[in-house]
Structure 1
Amino acid sequence: MTDADYRFSSDTAEMDRALVHAWLSTEAYWALGRTRAVQDAAMDASVNFGMFDALTGRQVAYARLVTDSVTFAWLCDVFVAPEVRGQGVGVTLIENIGAALDALNLRRVVLATSTAHGLYAKFGFETLAAPDHWMERRA
């Protein structure tokens, strides 16, 4: 992959909402069955990121950031289209998101993954220092 093959955007208006919903609701283990209304509301309340094919304009990756933009953020819904996996699209997506995070100077950014620890470690993510301090409330 070259920089000329794909482009990064954080413009929510550019996100292909129908495609993102289809990816997440049918292929992403953490979002299976998510409704379009829930996905759209989540996008509207988040900072959205995408990678796009430079020639066709088709979206090939997505991620969103839930944040107060001051102290904390949660990186979630990271998805790379199966047909471009292994081409560096995910790495470029996370590099660009990392630059956006650096500009915010947040104290903590978290994410959850069951498959991509190695990718995120390249960008400074590590296992929780005190996981016993964290709790969750599940629906």
Structure 2
Amino acid sequence: MTVFESKISINKPVADVFAFLKDFNNHQQLMPDSISEWVSTTNDASFAIKNMSRLSLKISNRIPNSSVIIVPASAVPFNIEMRWVVTSLGEDTTEAILTVSAELNMMMKVMASGPLKKLTDFQVTELKKILG
């Protein structure tokens, strides 16, 4: 299992950060420009990745004010899980950690490691921009 992780502190209560992350409709705001054709509900999303194919994801588990787990909703070339964990660092400060775990063979690891690490870094940075 290959793991990519990024974390950031946000000046918002943990309940506010969790409320944003638990709704897949909000995740479009966290995506890079290479994502298009976004369609979502509270629980799932599908989108196109530039120069690749469509991907469908779903939220498989929510633990209030703690975590949101996202998994593929359809067949994918490799198993992947995205896990947002939010922890209160005080009344108005939250640490948000995005962990992407992927089962990558050596060839996929070479091709996908850079983009997956960039994605985790991009999403936590965007989350901070949006929520402050």
TM score, norm. by length of structure 1: 0.34
RCO higher in 1 or 2 (8 Å CA, sep ≥ 6)? 2
Q: Which has the higher strand share?
A: 2
